[in-house]
Amino acid sequence: MGESGDIDEIWRRAEGGAVAILDCREEIPCDPCEAVCARGAIVVGKNVCDLPRYDPGLCNGCGRCVAICPGMAIYLLDRSSRDGGARLTLPYEMKEEIKAGDEVWALDEDGSPLGKGKVVKTAKMNKRDHSLLVTVDVPEEWALKVRGVRIRVMSIGEPLEVRGCQREEDHLLCRCEEISRSQAREYAAMGFNSLRALRRFSRVGLGYCQGRFCQAMLVDEFSTAAFRDREGVGVFKVRPPVRPVKLGRLGGENG
């Protein structure tokens, strides 16, 4: 049996009513599903990074784990209806409203629409936000394929291919003092190999942002150009104020 339960057993149990399916495959620090399951069907254990171990035999299909999982990695499968279809309960957090009776797109794991399904019920996950548990009827063949529902499917198209050679253009690294990448490389070629040394020579890092935006990029540029590790290139000496402040306020004014 896998950590997330035996899929054949889940399939069989779903004939008797809703049962959870967990799609959580990575060891990440996460465990709220364990606490919320009153039946003890999900166990993460002492180490939060362990995979949840799920026993479908204990699940009663209450759906609380579906509502709490931050990864939206749990859903319910119910195959008890006599007309042979599958009834799925999935988390839904989009802005477009979904209500019982709606026809919605059923999407697979890549977001490709499998076709339409009919919403039989929705339930609010909690009082404070708009997220829903949506229960939708779909053909049995899709039972293990559907991962989400949507009213509107994005039509974004493919990116366009650009032909011809793209020559490398120069651009700014430091916006405040207008220092370009080619200039930074020139400085490195002149022998400057630390940010502090450079700041004594140019005004880089002394502009409005005090180096907050450009520092990391300059460190990268210098360590590449001067073959020096980043700690060697170092950071600017930090001078007050670390936040822009009106000079008058330093004199005690309040405005």
Ligand X SMILES: Cc1cc2nc3c(=O)[nH]c(=O)nc-3n(C[C@H](O)[C@H](O)[C@H](O)COP(=O)(O)OP(=O)(O)OC[C@H]3O[C@@H](n4cnc5c(N)ncnc54)[C@H](O)[C@@H]3O)c2cc1C
3 touches, from other proteins, ligand X, ligand SF4, none (C-beta below 5 to 8 Å by class): none
22 touches, from ligand SF4, ligand X, other proteins, none (C-beta below 5 to 8 Å by class): ligand SF4
Q: Which residues contact 155 (CB under 8 A, 6 or more apart)?
A: none
Of these, 34, 89, 104, 136, which contacts other proteins (CB under 8 A)?
Answer: 34
Under the binding rule (CB under 8 A), the answer on residue 127 touching other proteins is no
94 touches, from other proteins, ligand X, ligand SF4, none (C-beta below 5 to 8 Å by class): other proteins
Q: How many residues sit in the footprint of other proteins (CB under 8 A)?
A: 79
Closest of 132, 135, 147, 145 to residue 94, by C-alpha = 132
**How far apart are CB 177 and ligand X at their closest, in Å?**
23
Task: Enumerate the β-bridge partners of residue 117.
Answer: 104
Under the binding rule (CB under 8 A), the answer on residue 3 touching other proteins is no
Closest of 171, 164, 97 to residue 130, by C-alpha = 97
Closest of 119, 136, 138, 123 to residue 62, by C-alpha = 123
**How far apart are CB 71 and ligand X at their closest, in Å?**
10
54 φ/ψ angles, rounded to the nearest 5 degrees: -125, 130
At residue 123, the 3 state secondary structure works out as: strand
Under the binding rule (CB under 6 A), the answer on residue 207 touching ligand SF4 is no
- Report the C-alpha gap between 117 and 92 in whole angstroms: 14
Is 104 within 8 Å of 152 (Cβ atoms)? Answer: no
Of these, 62, 217, 225, 226, which contacts ligand SF4 (CB under 6 A)?
Answer: 62
The pair of structure tokens assigned to 247 is 């000079």
Of these, 242, 244, 246, 255, which contacts ligand X (CB under 6 A)?
Answer: 242
Residue (25 or 203) nearer to other proteins, CB:
25
Rg (CA), the chain: 28
Residue (91 or 205) nearer to ligand SF4, CB:
91
Under the binding rule (CB under 6 A), the answer on residue 41 touching ligand SF4 is yes
119 touches, from other proteins, ligand X, ligand SF4, none (C-beta below 5 to 8 Å by class): none
Under the binding rule (CB under 6 A), the answer on residue 165 touching ligand X is no
Of these, 103, 109, 141, 186, which contacts other proteins (CB under 8 A)?
Answer: 109
Please report, as residue ranges, which positions from 162 to 191 form the binding site for other proteins (by CB under 8 A).
162, 166, 169-173, 175, 181
Q: Which residues contact 52 (CB under 8 A, 6 or more apart)?
A: 3, 4, 22, 24, 31, 33, 34, 42, 43, 44
For tokens 């370009």, the residue is: 180
Binding stretches for ligand X (CB under 6 A): 242-243
